[in-house]
Amino acid sequence: MQGYRSHKCSELTAANVGETVRLSGWVHRVRDHGGILFIDLRDHYGITQVLADPDSAAFAELETVRSEWCIRIDGEVKARAPELVNPKLPTGEIEIFIRDMEVLGASAELPLQVFDEPDFPEETRLKYRFLDLRRETLHNNIILRSNVVKSIRNRMGDQGFNEFQTPIITASSPEGARDFLVPSRQHPGKFYALPQAPQQFKQMIMVAGFDKYFQIAPCFRDEDPRADRSPTDFYQLDLEMSFVEQQDVFDTIEPVLKGLFEEFGNGRPVSQDWPQISYKDAALWYGTDKPDLRNPIKMQVVSEHFAGSGFKIFASLLENEGTEIRAIPAPKGGSRKFCDRMNKFAQGEGLPGMGYIFWRDQGEGLEAAGPLAKNIGPERTEAIRQQLGLEVGDAAFFLGGKPAAFESVAGRARTVIGEELELTNKDSFEFAWIVDFPMYERDEETGRVDFSHNPFSMPQGGIEALDAEDPETILGYQYDLACNGYELISGAIRNHKPEIMYKAFELAGYPNEEVNKRFGGMVNAFTYGAPPHGGCAAGIDRIVMLLANEDNIRQVIMFPMNQRAEDLMLNGPSDPTNEQLRELGLRVIPQED
C-alpha cells in the first residue's frame, strides 16, 4: 500500500469493487444516517463517498472528524445499490467501507464554508484565500487559467515563436501608469522599477535579430483597481514580430485567440469574422473603444433633424461649433414606462435627462409620441424613424452637445438598453479590432498636446505627417482588440526610426534630451539597423475571466489584492524595519491626516 493513497478521489469505479484501497483528502461533508457515518472525501481531482458503521474499527475516531479535516482512509470498495447511484460523480457507482483512518491535519473552526459555496464578504475570502481556493468554482477557475496558459504556449510555439524572459528589476520607463519603485541598496538614492510591460526589451529583442518573441509576462502597475483590473500586477501574453505590418500581426494572433476561445469556451459561439473599426467610428457607434458587439445597437448622428427645430434645447446647442445630436435606437423599447426609466438612468449619470421618441399605433396608423415628437413635428420624427430603421413598438433616445462630454454616458445607455430589452446575446464571444487611434490629444484646460495612446507607435504617414499635419489629426498604427465589452489586446507597429521618434516626441513637448534620458537605451539600439517591427499584448486575466464567465478579475487570480491594494492573507504592504531603512538610506516621512 502506498504511503498516502493508492488512488485519487476521482478514479474508482464499479471495476474496482472488492479492492482494498487507500485515499487521502479533505472532509467535504459529513452525514450521520442512523448510526452510519457518510463522508464525502475530496481531493484536487474529485470526490468519493466513504462510510463506516459501529462495526468499523475506525468508527469512534471518525465521529470526531469535521469539515475540512485532512484525513487518510483505508477501506474496501463496494457497489452502491442501483437506486443510490449518483450519475453526477465519476465515482457515483461505488462507496468505500472504512477499515482504518488517520487524521493528517485537523481543522480549526472554519471562517468560511467550502461545501455548497455560500456567499461570504470578499474581505473574508481574501484573508482566508487558501480556504476559498478549495471551493469548486474558484478551484476550477484556477485550473482553467493553468490550462489556458499551457494552450497559449503550445499555440505560440506552433506559430514559430520563441519564448524569452525579460528582466523584472529594471529602469523606470513611463508607459501611462505609475511605476512600483524599488530602492537600490548598492546605489543609495537611486531606484529600480518593476516593469509596467516588457515594451522596450521586446523591441530590442527584435533589434537583436530574434524574429518572433513571446512570453507570459508579469507586469506591474500602481493603478486604481476595477472589476476587470488588478491594482498591482497582472500577466499578459506579450509578443513582438519583425518585418511585419499591421495586418500581419492580426493574421498571427487571430487564430491563437480563436482557437483558445473555441477550446475553453464551453461551446459558446466565437465570431469568425473580426471587423476592423476605426476609433472614430467606435466612439460614434458604441460610445467606447471597447464595444460589445453582442449588442446590435449602433448609434447615429441625427443633428440635421434638430437644427432649426421647435426643440429649442437641441436647436440652440447645434449653433455652437463642435456639437451634435446622437440617437440611440431602442428596438422593442417603445413604451412610456421604459422611456421614463432610461431618462432616470441619464439623470443618475449626472445629465439633466435624455430625450426620447417612441412609435405606437393606436388604430390610426403609426404615431410618434413623447415630448420631443411634439416639439419637432411629424416630418422630422418620420425622417428620424426612417434613418434609424425603427418600427411600431420601437423607441429612440437622444443626447446632445460636444461628443466628448456625453459619449461615455451614451455608451453606457446603449449597454443598459441592450440588456433590458434582451437584445444582447450573452452566450457568445464577439471580437472586433479597433484601429486608427489618434496619436495625440489636446488638454482642453492647458492646450498642451500629448500622446493619447502608445508613444512608441509609428505615425501613419511617417515623418511627412508629423511635419505637415495638425497633431490632433495624425493617426497611429495602433490597435486594440475588444471582446464582449473588454479590451483584450493592445498593440502597435513600432516607431523604429530615431528621427521619426524624436519628431513624434517633440510634438508632444519632449525635447531630444528628454527622450534620450527616458528612452536612451532603445533609441541607441535603433541607430544600429533596427528592423520594422510590431506586436501586441493580450491580458491573460481578462481572457480567463471571460472564459470562466466571471464579472470580477479576482475570481481568476490565485492570490489577488483587495480593492485597496492590500494582501489580507500576508498583511502586505508591511512596515519596513529600521535596519532595512538604514541599509537603503531611506527615511519614512509620516503622512499628515
| pLDDT tens digits along 119-158 | 999 999 999 999 999 999 999 999 999 999 999 999 999 9
State the Cα–Cα distance between residues 281 and 303, nearest whole angstrom.
16
What is the enclosing helix (H) or strand (E) of 366? strand 366-369
Q: Where is the binding site for L-aspartate, in residues?
A: 175, 221, 453, 494
Percent of the chain whose predicted confidence (pLDDT) is above 90? 86
| pLDDT tens digits along 46-92 | 999 999 999 899 999 999 999 999 999 999 999 999 999 999 999 99
What is the pLDDT at residue 593?
65
- Grid coordinates standing for 70? 485532512
| pLDDT tens digits along 554-581 | 999 999 999 899 999 999 999 999 999 9
**What value does the mean pLDDT of the chain take?**
94
Sign of the alpha-carbon torsion through 334, 339, 345, 351: positive
Q: Where is the binding site for ATP, in residues?
A: 221-223, 487, 539-542
What is the pLDDT at residue 109?
96
What is the pLDDT at residue 194?
94
| pLDDT tens digits along 290-308 | 999 999 999 999 999 999 9
Q: Which domains does the chain carry? A: 14-105 (2.40.50.140), 135-274+531-593 (3.30.930.10), 295-420 (3.30.1360.30)
With a cut of 90, say whether residue 350 has pLDDT above it: no
State the Cα–Cα distance between residues 310 and 295, nearest whole angstrom.
33
pTM to 2 decimals? Answer: 0.93
With a cut of 80, say whether residue 364 has pLDDT above it: no
What is the enclosing helix (H) or strand (E) of 359? strand 355-361
| pLDDT tens digits along 233-288 | 999 999 999 999 999 999 999 999 999 999 999 999 999 999 999 999 999 999 99
Percent of the chain whose predicted confidence (pLDDT) is above 70? 99
| pLDDT tens digits along 318-345 | 999 999 999 999 999 999 999 999 989 9
Confidence of residue 1 (pLDDT cuts 50, 70, 90): low
User: Cell 491626516 sits at which residue?
Assistant: 593
Q: Where is the binding site, in residues?
A: 175, 221-223, 453, 487, 494, 539-542
Of the two residues 591 and 490, the one the predictor is more confident about is 490
By mean pLDDT, which of 177-186, 412-421, 487-496 is the weakest?
A: 177-186
Report the SS3 class of residue 180: strand
Sheet containing 366-369: order of strands = 300-301, 324-330, 395-401, 355-361, 366-369
Looking only at the bridges linking them, the beta strands covering 94-105 and 47-52 are parallel
